[in-house]
Structure 1
Amino acid sequence: MKAFFEGIQYLFVDILFKPMDWFREMELSNWWTANIVNWIFIAVCCYWTWYWTKELKIFKDKGQDEQDTTAHSFLK
């Protein structure tokens, strides 16, 4: 059983998180590049938030959205 958990440790520490060690070392020379993963995540979240609100506006303009406060039976 111990070998199983050591295998999981090896997978995450020595393989999957190796790029994170590189970013951590890079932080001292260039903060912006070291945080590229965060910037990509922020850009993706901003895009999908914009897309979601655009779709909500389309449904609202067509009158297809239901603004019923009793959407669930237990709220009646």
Structure 2
Amino acid sequence: MCIRIAVVDDLPTIAHWDPDEVTILVNRGTHPHDLIRELHAILAVDLGAPAIPGAGLFCFCGTRIELPSEFTVTALPVGASNL
């Protein structure tokens, strides 16, 4: 069973492992760099998932874990305004 990531409001920490739901709850509005650092700690250190430098985040089963879309940066087309 693969780990899921769910975004929630008002979480007292950046991220929290919920073993009953096999889900890592992440606090909405967290800076992506802080979130990745915290997710890595939960996945690799606490849960024993593979840690491959520069390769992203992985579940303990080896499946790549994607961040929720609100934490990913998308490139703007050339000439587009970011306002």
Structure 2 length-normalised TM: 0.22
Asked which structure has the greater CA Rg, the reply is 1
- When you count strand as a share of all residues, which structure comes out higher? 2
User: Looking at both structures, which has the greater relative contact order when contacts are Cα pairs under 8 Å and sequence separation is at least 6?
Assistant: 2
- When you count helix as a share of all residues, which structure comes out higher? 1
